[in-house]
Structure 1
């Protein structure tokens, strides 16, 4: 399957796509556009941005095109050996899962606009980019001898590889564990590369030391920095797309960059490879319901900041501040929610990314991070730090991520209880499948490391550090760098 992408009128924000494929003797071919994208579990109906679509045979003859669903077209091939489909896509949104084109920037998420032939999703893909002179490309796909022609093993790899292209891209690299990491920046800024590479290398090293190996041969941090306030990142198979702003925020922007980058890097294990079985493989035509997004996003949220502290990028004060942020977001907004984490994971497809009605759902990110914290500290207290959530994640990697077979909720329960060495009925009933408020369990866990969360009558919360020498020693053991320890399997 071959795609050619051009932007003949940049100010229009329309990308022009030419899609060529063999018919293999078929009398008709159905072409599908995805209805959603990985990392955002909601139907997004990308087809609404297609203005026109037509098809011709390899001989040049016009072919009949009939729309059979909102995002599927049937092309009558009439004995043609190949077909050429031409269409356009309005690309005028800048978030971490969108596409945007003008005269200075091409930002492409191929999942938004590349059609695929039904039942041929595993065929290799070639993408030819008619880029303006002087544009550089940031993308996890491999280029051919022509730098503007990219190749993917199949459609899944293609649409899991966002692209940024511009004449004004900033770029630097660092290496950890023999893996090259690329950092790309576009926006009104002058990156402090020495600081960025030092800090990124530190949390990358910490994550690899914890998990034992890195899943990919290289990795790309692709950053679009906007002049307006923004915070969004999306995980991909060997890259992440991050959109942040405003570009004049200084230290606040840099801390946001560190936080989202560490979070997204951990997704290279937890989501991309350690994947719920309901998402393996992705079905881009409809909802892919699953109940374990509290593992996918909650554990990753917990670890994103924890790795920054373990690596010495965050100090104690900044880390406590970040802990308090997602405590406040949970307790001040959904303390009395009627849904469990399992139910809210399932209902991501309904309203998971909007505010929703009062006291209905919980955040798989914020409550998910809190229950990960509770579990980690429970395991550490029970075993005097001999076992922890690190062991759970490594076991998930070894059993489900490396072989890439997908795990169920029951699989996750089994791994956790194997690490714990006991049934954890209280944890599943209260923290995951139930709606019991977390204050008591959370403060029991926090006391082990010398913290206490205080709830005020107005609904606000505050996280305090206790003056407790014994707990302070547990704090240090909790935050000990995996680089200094021998991971236990």
Structure 2
């Protein structure tokens, strides 16, 4: 067994201390003779966030002991430390040697991916903290969390791992961490350990039961008037709908307890899925208040985020690409299927809200229109297929630069539109008797329950088996080419029409920027636009446009009052060099898409997937 202890060592300096203790037999050591060693490694990325993040950069030191003797521990690679055991420690009569290691981790990453610690709370993903000895990945694990000090306010710990029997807990099952105290958890293996993040502090906690499963919602950082009970009430039918989608007969979730962990911030957004929990980051001002009936404008988006991460409990945590079985956390794991595992989840997040009665049809269609606009406004969709976007996640999607709109398309957003087209095609060809739900259920039975990964070319055959419909050619075309998706046809089958709408701008320039006191700092230039033709580039500082100093107010007035074809004199600085060019205003380009009911329906329609 591996014994880890995480200590809240220096919250003001943002340091966790981690200790590891384990016994190792002679035959488990690497090397020969008196030159023996064991390697300890830290993951370089975290599942669900496809970028090499180099978590080891936050490790200050690693030390080791064999029994009571300090032994050498050297960094072997960027993510690996080698613990050296010489012959003196290997007594012939001893069956195993006790190794003790300790290290310190800097934790000041306020995101769902890393670790964060101050004197009010602590949060960590195991991928940021836990070095694993090579060959011990399948060993059972005991995790201890300790908090030295006196006269400190009690902290609650939110975590999906089971705690030691007899642990003091709050009414919702969250262990209590007292000053000078400790709490112990158990994990079946290293993969389980790093797939259960920990949030601890002065948490606001509520819980609800969905189809027999306890769901805990723990919040740090929210205002005191947060209506957490309303959040739980709204999420309960959403969770039940998702459980029933995958298990319509048994209605059994793949976990015994689920934990939502929310860090409410002044300005933040994010979510990361785990097998029985999720870490969330969201703006506190967009959460509901006690005594206020009307929810903030962004609350539906918050419920959509929760729905998205919860759906991942099936789609990507248990049903996953074969390239992820098992994860290799030392390097990139390439797959062209993220449009299924991330894109389909982006499709179902709002669909499940609507089915559960937490999103009106009008609100759903507005959200869908925004997703369509997000894809259609970027010329990157004409340069990168959604399958290539999946493959390039490691180098492009998670490393976007000023040219991103011209070069890439999102496997999240376009993947959700591919799901819309597949779902519509199945419903049309089966007269509404089959749909994408049937495909997801078969995938769950074939892949989720077995742990077998989905092969790169296997999905069309799953669709065929689940529905009797052969969509291989269409799926290949929609995912491996840059051909436009048949969105209008997909929506027409439900009795809706898709159209572009005009915005308030009278001209199109094709640039995006950030206003500063001295002018506009250009962030992005769209290929084929007037700004592109004039020679303006990202990084330029526009100081004058149309014979006047460029301010945000002046810029908006120009967009609203100028006419296509107008010549606008632009003055800019590129580094220290003065530039002058002419911008010929283009005709307005609408990036807004509207979905409405058809006034006159031709032919038969099928029930829409978002209907209850």
What TM-score range do you get, normalising by the shorter chain?
A: over 0.9
Q: Would the alpha carbon gap of residues 169 and 471 (structure 1) be closer, same or farther in structure 2, given more than 3 Å must change?
A: farther
Describe how 1:193-212 pairs up with structure 2 within 5 A. Answer: 193-212=228-247
Partner of 1:76: 84
The 3-state SS of whatever aligns with 1:230 is coil
* Pairing 1:23–2:24 present: yes
Cα distance in 2, alignment partners of residues 301 and 9 from structure 1: 39
Cα distance in 2, alignment partners of residues 425 and 16 from structure 1: 52
Q: Would the alpha carbon gap of residues 467 and 363 (structure 1) be closer, same or farther in structure 2, given more than 3 Å must change?
A: same
Deviation at residue 472 of structure 1 after TM alignment: 12
Partner of 2:349: 304
Partner of 1:247: 285
Q: Which 4+ runs in 1 deviate beyond 4 A?
A: 469-477
* Pairing 1:12–2:21 present: no
Cα distance in 1, alignment partners of residues 75 and 8 from structure 2: 25
Structure with the larger helix share: 1
Cα distance in 2, alignment partners of residues 150 and 334 from structure 1: 49
Describe how 1:257-406 pairs up with structure 2 within 5 A. Answer: 257-334=302-379, 336-356=381-401, 357-358=403-404, 359-406=406-453
Partner of 2:542: none
Deviates more, 1:411-420 or 1:213-222: 411-420
The 3-state SS of whatever aligns with 1:86 is strand
Deviation at residue 256 of structure 1 after TM alignment: 2.5
Q: List runs of 5+ in structure 2 lacking aligned partners.
A: 30-35, 91-96, 168-174, 176-182, 289-295, 502-587
* Pairing 1:55–2:64 present: yes
Cα distance in 2, alignment partners of residues 266 and 112 from structure 1: 24
- Cα deviation, 1:80-137, whole Å, max 9, x if unaligned, reads 6112111111100111111101111011111112000112111111111113651111
Describe how 1:93-132 pairs up with structure 2 within 5 A. Answer: 93-131=109-147
* Contact map agreement 1:203 1:262 (CA 8 A) in 2: yes
Cα distance in 2, alignment partners of residues 272 and 178 from structure 1: 21
Cα distance in 1, alignment partners of residues 113 and 466 from structure 2: 36
Deviates more, 1:307-316 or 1:175-184: 175-184
* Pairing 1:141–2:157 present: no
Partner of 1:464: 595
Cα distance in 2, alignment partners of residues 256 and 466 from structure 1: 24
Cα distance in 2, alignment partners of residues 409 and 386 from structure 1: 28
Deviation at residue 71 of structure 1 after TM alignment: 0.6
Deviates more, 1:32-41 or 1:173-182: 173-182
* Contact map agreement 1:171 1:184 (CA 8 A) in 2: yes
Cα distance in 1, alignment partners of residues 436 and 348 from structure 2: 10
Question: Among 400, 403, 410, which residue is 2:457 paired with?
Answer: 410
Question: Among 205, 229, 233, which residue is 1:171 paired with?
Answer: 205
Q: Would the alpha carbon gap of residues 83 and 471 (structure 1) be closer, same or farther in structure 2, given more than 3 Å must change?
A: farther
Deviation at residue 335 of structure 1 after TM alignment: 5.4
Structure with the larger strand share: 2
* Contact map agreement 2:286 2:297 (CA 8 A) in 1: no
- Under a length normalisation based on structure 1, what TM-score does the superposition of the two structures give? 0.93
Q: Would the alpha carbon gap of residues 347 and 171 (structure 1) be closer, same or farther in structure 2, given more than 3 Å must change?
A: same
Deviates more, 1:246-255 or 1:384-393: 246-255
Partner of 1:67: 75
Partner of 1:485: none
Deviates more, 1:149-158 or 1:461-470: 461-470
Q: Would the alpha carbon gap of residues 350 and 335 (structure 1) be closer, same or farther in structure 2, given more than 3 Å must change?
A: closer
* Contact map agreement 2:143 2:186 (CA 8 A) in 1: yes
Deviates more, 1:126-135 or 1:114-123: 126-135
Q: Would the alpha carbon gap of residues 268 and 186 (structure 1) be closer, same or farther in structure 2, given more than 3 Å must change?
A: same
* Contact map agreement 1:202 1:311 (CA 8 A) in 2: yes
Question: Among 225, 246, 261, which residue is 2:264 paired with?
Answer: 225
* Contact map agreement 1:451 1:463 (CA 8 A) in 2: no
Deviates more, 1:370-379 or 1:352-361: 352-361
Q: Would the alpha carbon gap of residues 96 and 85 (structure 1) be closer, same or farther in structure 2, given more than 3 Å must change?
A: same
* Contact map agreement 2:286 2:299 (CA 8 A) in 1: no
| Greater radius of gyration (CA) | 2
Cα distance in 2, alignment partners of residues 138 and 307 from structure 1: 26
* Contact map agreement 1:23 1:29 (CA 8 A) in 2: no
The 3-state SS of whatever aligns with 2:407 is coil
- Under a length normalisation based on structure 2, what TM-score does the superposition of the two structures give? 0.75
